[in-house]
Amino acid sequence: MATTTSNRSSNRSGSSRSTSRGGNRSSGEKGNRGSSQRSAFNWGSTGSWLSAAAAGAAIAIGANLARKLAMQGMSAPAGDWDEVLAAEHQQSLIIFDKILETEDSQTMKRTMLIKKLTHALDKHAHEEEHVVYPALRAVNDAHDADLLEGEHGYVKTFLFELSEMEKSSPDFLPKVQMFREMVERHAKMEEEEVFPRLKQGLTREQNDHITNLVNKEGFKMA
């Protein structure tokens, strides 16, 4: 029984294929047109899809570039590398102060401000770790470069702990306060000791070069 059904079915589909291939011109045209439409549709669709994807990617890249330019324009003050970094220290301390003004009930605001602080400190650390600390090591100031870079590790630890913590916890603000004090001490050492010492030994060209590199790294992270 199964064989008969199978044969019948096979014959039916065979007859349908022969009709479509053979006699009836309009049916053949339909078939060909269908086939060519399918082909055109497939290629056209893939091509259109690729074009749309490429256009979408270009728009996304352009939008991201515009966003970065806007962010960099808003957040990166002009000036030499040490002035740029000192201004970023101040911007971070302002975010700390905004967090310290919050109530335990303002959990959403705390979450948003911790994200903002994380972005600001990540960008800042990236600039220092990719440009300024290597420049310090190049002039035999590896001790301070290593010390400061080690402290950046604890900055990330604080950020991790605060992001994991219940934002309504009574321990939240005391931790933020400890974190702020650590960042302020770190920034003071950079601004008052380490950066002036490095800058003093640089030519105008070297100084400008470091400024360009800091801005470039900042742009990547904006």
Using CB under 5 A as the binding rule, whether residue 127 contacts Fe ion is answered as no
Report helix, strand or coil for 212. Answer: helix
Window 138-157: residues binding Fe ion (CB under 5 A): 148
CB of 217 vs Fe ion, minimal distance in Å:
13
Residue from 82, 127, 128, 217 in contact with Fe ion (CB under 5 A): 128
- Per CB under 5 A, which region of 71-79, 94-102, 159-167, 184-192 contacts Fe ion? 184-192
Q: How many angstroms separate the CA atoms of 6 and 90, rounded?
A: 81
CB of 89 vs Fe ion, minimal distance in Å:
6
Residue 95 or 110: which CB sits closer to Fe ion?
Answer: 95
Q: How many angstroms separate the CA atoms of 91 and 54, rounded?
A: 38
Q: Which residue in the block uniquely carries the two structure tokens 């309504």?
A: 168
Phi, psi for 39 (deg, rounded to 5): -65, -50
CB of 102 vs Fe ion, minimal distance in Å:
25
Residue 135 or 167: which CB sits closer to Fe ion?
Answer: 135
What sign does the CA torsion over 162, 119, 135, 76 have? negative
- Per CB under 5 A, which region of 20-28, 65-73, 127-135, 157-165 contacts Fe ion? 127-135
CB of 86 vs Fe ion, minimal distance in Å:
8
Residue 114 or 214: which CB sits closer to Fe ion?
Answer: 214
CB of 200 vs Fe ion, minimal distance in Å:
18
Q: How many angstroms separate the CA atoms of 181 and 187, rounded?
A: 10
Burial, 85: exposed, middle or buried (Cβ in 10 Å; 0-12, 13-18, 19+)?
Answer: buried
Is the CB of residue 211 less than 8 Å from the CB of residue 81? yes
CB of 72 vs Fe ion, minimal distance in Å:
17
**What angle separates helix 142-164 from helix 172-189, to the nearest 10 degrees?**
160
Residue 135 or 148: which CB sits closer to Fe ion?
Answer: 148
Amino acid letter for position 142: A
| Binding positions for Fe ion, rule: CB under 5 A | 128, 148, 190
